[in-house]
Amino acid sequence: MGRKFFVGGNWKMNGDKAMIDGIVAFLNQSGNTDNVDVVVAPPAPYLVYVKEQLKSSVEVAAQNCYKVPKGAFTGEISPAMVKDLGLKWVILGHSERRHVFGESDCLIADKTVHAIESGLDVVFCIGEKLEEREAGHTKNVNFRQLQAIVDRKVNWDKIVIAYEPVWAIGTGKTASPEQAQEVHAWIREFLKEKVSADVAEKVRIIYGGSVTAENCVELGKKPDIDGFLVGGASLKPDFVKIINARN
């Protein structure tokens, strides 16, 4: 299949310089990770601080950016700015952006299109809430969130899809490898039908939601799980074990 394993660390709104120095130290000692794309996303004020200290094989991502290059949008950052810092990645559509900050499918699609046009690669997050899963809407919700970018005819070479069931994020309730694999396979089928067989085969679909050093190996054995987006555990030295889940 040839999809390169991808492990992202989403630090969310955590860390200060002292804590970041510790994280950078264990990342810089993570050995040879040539067969994995490793990308960490610090809070925006620390992007340069992290980039300057990290070994070059670990990429740095923004956790969010807005849909236009500049202007009167207090508090926002643009993909042009992220790019100007020498960074390549941004996370968009994270469940906290969707559900804490009320971002719509349409806004996330606008941001995704603009980020890609500005030269960034995007970790595009989707996922259902607990009540949606319990009501049998898992497929519909994930397909609806994806449809928003299918409609915009994006360049899929620039996208990694992160399936992150909201009920598993930060809760300690990981999706079982079977539950995650089922949704990842649906997503690949959806892409085959709506975009192309080639895109479905090539695009990386990573899993996020309480991934730990303990559960990553079994999750990583599933054929449609191409890596992880990790929150809490990316702040700890065990993150290196998650990076090496397939090794």
Give yes or no for residue 15 binding ligand PEP (CB under 6 A). no
Binding of residue 229 to ligand PEP (CB under 6 A): yes
164 is catalytic: yes
User: Considering the rule CB under 6 A, would residue 127 count as an interface residue with ligand PEP?
Assistant: no
The residue number with the shortest CB distance to ligand PEP is 231
Binding residues among 197-226 for ligand PEP as defined by CB under 6 A: 208-211
39-55 b/e with 16+ CB inside 10 Å = b?
bbbbbbebbebbbeebe
Contact mark string toward ligand PEP, 160..179, x via CB under 6 A: ----x----xx---------
Rule CB under 6 A: is residue 145 a binding residue for ligand PEP? no
Q: Give yes or no for residue 93 binding ligand PEP (CB under 6 A).
A: no
Is 99 considered catalytic here?
no
- Number of chain residues interacting with ligand PEP (CB under 6 A): 14
The active-site residue out of 94, 114, 128, 184 is 94
Q: Which residues contact 1 (CB under 8 A, 6 or more apart)?
A: 201, 223
Task: By CB under 6 A, name the binding residues for ligand PEP.
Answer: 10, 12, 164, 169-170, 208-211, 229-233
Catalytic residues: 94, 164
